[in-house]
């Protein structure tokens, strides 16, 4: 699964202490088409937010009383300045709802 598969959760798991539900977005795309890439990333994040808000995760974690939700984005390629700005704005908007975005860059293939 990957960032372009909007209707799929790439990965989901509970933190060791059980207080966080962590979602994975796997982004393997380069930034040659930055606008399209950002739009795709936005759509994927929005799909995850809908999944969280509708509590669809309870199908897998019925007993989950999570304090926080983490959307962990793993990029294959280094992010652009516009991507960093976008994620900072989204992160600020989600913080009051105990939803956080983290990123990791695994390096160029």
The two three-digit tokens of residue 53, written as one number: 């808000």
Q: Rounded distance, CA 82 to CA 12, Å? A: 27
Pairing of strands 20-27, 68-75: parallel
**The pTM of the whole model exceeds 0.75:** yes
Q: Rounded distance, CA 15 to CA 21, Å? A: 6
**Which tens digits make up the pLDDT trace of 64-76?**
789 999 999 999 9
**Which tens digits make up the pLDDT trace of 25-59?**
999 999 999 999 999 999 999 999 999 999 999 99
**pLDDT value at 2 more than 90:** no
Segments making up each domain of the chain, as ranges: 11-105
């Amino acid at each position: 699964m990957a960032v372009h598969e909007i209707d799929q959760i790439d990965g989901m798991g509970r933190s060791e202490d059980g207080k966080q539900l962590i979602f994975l977005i796997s982004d393997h795309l380069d930034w040659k088409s930055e606008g399209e890439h950002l739009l795709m990333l936005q759509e994927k994040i929005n799909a995850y937010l809908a999944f969280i808000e509708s509590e669809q995760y309870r199908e897998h974690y019925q007993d989950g009383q999570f304090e926080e939700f983490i959307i962990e984005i793993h990029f294959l390629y280094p992010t652009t300045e516009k991507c960093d700005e976008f994620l900072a704005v989204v992160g600020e908007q989600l913080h009051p709802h105990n939803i956080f975005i983290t990123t990791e860059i695994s390096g160029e293939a």
